[in-house]
Amino acid sequence: MIHYENYNPYWPETVIFWGAGTTEPLHMKTTNELGKMFQTLTEADKNLGEAIDQVIPEADEQVRSELKALLELIDSEFHGHEDEAIRVLDIPKDRAQHLQMLYDWNAVKLVIERCPRNRNHRFSLDDLYNLLDLHIQAHKGIEVEQRFITLDRLIAARRTLTMLTQLIHAIGYVELLHDSDTKALYHHYYEFATILAGRMREEGVQKAAKQISFDDRNFYLFSYAMISMNWDPILLWLIFNAHKEMNSAADCPKIGDPPQPMKLFNDLVHFIAVRKVDGRSPSAWFPMNETAVQQMNDSEYQTGRRIRIGKFYFPHGCHGFRQCPKCGKLTFYLGNEWCVDSPCLFPPQIIPSLSPRSPRSLEEKKAIDAGIFDAVQCTYCGTITESHHTAIAMQTHFKAIQPSFIQEIQNDMKVAIEHAQHIIFAGYSLPDDDFIDRIMLSARRKMDVEQVKCSVINFDQHAKEEWMYGEELNDFCRKYDRSSLASTCNRVAGIFGEANIRGYGAGFPNVFMKNGKADKDKVEEMMRMW
């Protein structure tokens, strides 16, 4: 008789949902803030300049002037008066016409008029995307105050919102680096990433001491996986830099026989070509994946290093993702220099002040000279990509068919969630529009009788700077039932049960800070299986 053994492949015990609340202290705009900004801009009428000053007062004067020129250029009400906008944007007329074909600010304003308002006369960005996607997926236009907006204009309006979201986050990142207090806080986030890297280094040394085979997932996979619900690449960049510094450190541990240095990398799940950060051409650098790690860690070969990798998911895409319109492949842009506060981390934007204008090839130079300041060359086939080729999924109940790489990321993420024993909701409120993630979590809850522990991190002014458990957390949620922390805890409790939740209401970065710096013990408390 053949004896069969159980096969239970290793997956990370801890999964972290990294939401907009984590980077809000760094002045990266949340979905709610983006909605308010768009409403202020669309209702500006003839006072667009004043509205721009109101929504991005921290941006320098030239950036504000260029944003105003861009919005006027792509507003059909201003067509015929483009000369000043073209001058400010420093683009030729054919580039201006191309932008007018791609984007439609006037259509955005009209569709926002159709959105319902709350008691404060504010509309929801979710409602805006739902309204757009409802009609786009039905292949029908929409009427607003006896004005019919055709399908092609709705598509252009949606494209405009995505472009502006990228632009506003890029502005936020630039200002993050220019404001001394925010930049200092940003470096505390880097300390947090460094502590995470240190934990994974210690973990690897401990597993090596137990003589776990280096090509076994139990050794080479980190015990945590990160799911970034944000579109910005900030956390990934900090972790990349923390790993790079630790990998090149003099005290990098050596494991195995003969001893070889243990290095830390990230697996982005899909086989993504990262545009080489410190290169002189648009050529690709491919991050580590499990195929490469198993070969590098094969005990029969002395490869000069042994590898551990951590899974990092972008289920909604990233501002750095560019999908080639010709070959369909994905290129990941992460700037032109290896440093934590890289000024060019975000891809080049449409307006000239937010483009480094540092071409790496003749093709990129020609594109920039033609006013395509957001040009990034595809690392596979060499085609020029622009901002509207950025692959990100927006908030909507009407989920369109995703690109294959987004689907692949979401499929792998689903398995990671199903195997997680500890799920951390870091600045992520599990909103209604993320119903796919809610379904994944509900499926995890029903998979087995083993209870999943959940940690909710959010900010509430009434909360103490400590973790709340059991009845203390229940009392807080009852007393401050309208708070973001209580709302998220109630959502999570509805899936996993009240007994399996703890909450922290002092938010980011307090959850990992002590005495003015990131603290190893506080990070350990956040990550531990309580």
Condensed to tens digits (0 to 9), the pLDDT of residues 332-373 reads: 999 999 999 999 999 999 999 999 999 999 999 999 999 999
Q: State which residues form the domain around 401.
A: 7-24+179-251+396-530
Could you tell me if 203 and 233 lie in one domain?
Answer: yes
pLDDT at residue 449, rounded to an integer = 47
Contact assessment for residue 32 and residue 19, using Cβ atoms and an 8 Å cutoff? no
Residue 68 lies in a domain: yes
> Is 135 contained in some domain?
yes
Q: Look at the chain and count its residues.
A: 530
Distance of CA 128 to the CA centre of its chain: 21
| Closest of 18, 33, 35 to residue 316, by C-alpha | 18
Same domain? For 109 and 154 the reply is yes
Closest Cα partner for 89 from 101, 71, 77?
71
- As a dihedral over the C-alpha atoms of residue 414, residue 420, residue 422, residue 424, rounded to 10 degrees, the angle is -20
Tokens 């993504």 locate to 272
Helix (H) / strand (E) containing 501: strand 501-504
Q: Are residues 127 and 241 in the same domain?
A: no
pLDDT at residue 394 in the model: 81
Q: Which of 291, 292, 317, 294 is nearest to 409 (CA)?
A: 317
Q: How many domains does the chain have?
A: 2
Determine the Cα–Cα distance for residues 18 and 12; give it in Å rounded to an integer: 16
On whether both 425 and 484 belong to a single domain, the answer is yes
Query: Both 401 and 472 in a single domain?
Result: yes
468: which 2 tokens? 């709340």
The answer to whether 19 touches 229, Cβ cutoff 8 Å, is yes
Q: Indicate the residue among 159, 178, 197 that finishes a domain.
A: 178
Residue 286 lies in a domain: no
Distance of alpha carbon 177 from alpha carbon 184, whole angstroms: 9
Summarised one tens digit per residue, pLDDT across range 92-147 is 999 999 999 999 999 999 999 988 888 778 888 888 999 999 999 999 999 888 88
Cβ neighbours, 10 Å, residue 100: 18
Half-sphere exposure of 312 (CA within 13 A, CB side): 24
Which secondary structure element, helix H or strand E, spans residue 262, and what is its range?
strand 260-267
The residues, any chain, with a CB within 8 Å of residue 90's CB and separated by 6 or more, are 352, 371
CA gap 54, 219 in Å, rounded = 52
Q: Select from 302, 447, 525 the least CA-distant residue to 11.
A: 447
Tell me what pLDDT residue 436 has.
Answer: 56
Note the pLDDT of residue 432. Answer: 63
CA 487 to chain centre: 23
Q: Assess whether 183 and 237 both reside in one domain.
A: yes
In our burial notation (b when 16+ CB lie closer than 10 A, e otherwise), range 335-371 reads bbeeebebebbbbbbbbbbbbbeebbbebbeebbeeb
| Helix or strand (DSSP H, E) at 309 | strand 306-313
CB-count exposure of residue 511 (10 Å: 0-12, 13-18, 19+): buried
Say whether both 115 and 189 belong to one domain.
no
Label residue 182 exposed, middle or buried (CB < 10 Å: 0-12, 13-18, 19+).
middle
Based on the fold, state whether residues 58 and 41 are members of the same structural domain: yes
CA separation for the pair 401, 425 (Å, rounded) = 26
Please give the structure tokens belonging to residue 515.
């005495």
How confident is the model at residue 44, as a pLDDT? Answer: 85
Q: Are residues 219 and 100 in the same domain?
A: no
Of the candidates 196, 153, 197, the residue with the CA atom closest to the CA atom of residue 426:
196
Q: Is 346 helix (H, G, I), strand (E, B) or coil?
A: coil
The pTM of this model reads: 0.95
In a domain, 271, yes or no: no
Query: Domain for residue 55, yes or no?
Result: yes
Does an H or E element contain 73, and which? helix 61-73
Q: At which of 178, 202, 237 does a domain end?
A: 178
Q: Which residues of the chain, if any, have pLDDT below 50?
A: 449
Buried b (16+ CB within 10 A) or exposed e, 441-450: beebeeeeee
Indicate the residue among 158, 178, 198 that finishes a domain.
178
Same domain, 165 and 208: no
Let me know if residue 417 belongs to a domain: yes
Q: Is residue 297 part of a domain?
A: no
Q: In 198-217, which positions are buried (b, 16+ CB within 10 angstroms) versus exposed (e)? A: ebbbeebeebbeeebebbeb
Same structural domain, 36 and 152: yes
**DSSP code of 480?**
T
Three-state secondary-structure class, residue 360 = coil
Share of the chain above pLDDT 90, in %: 81
Q: Which of 319, 309, 287, 272 is nearest to 23 (CA)?
A: 319
Rounded to the nearest 5 degrees, what angle is found at the Cα of 319, between the Cα atoms of 313 and 320? Answer: 80
User: In this structure, is residue 234 part of a structural domain?
Assistant: yes
- 375's CB contacts (< 8 A; 6+ apart) are 348, 359, 364, 367, 368, 384, 385, 386
Q: For residues 60 and 186, state if they share a domain.
A: no
Q: Tell me the Cα Rg of the chain.
A: 24
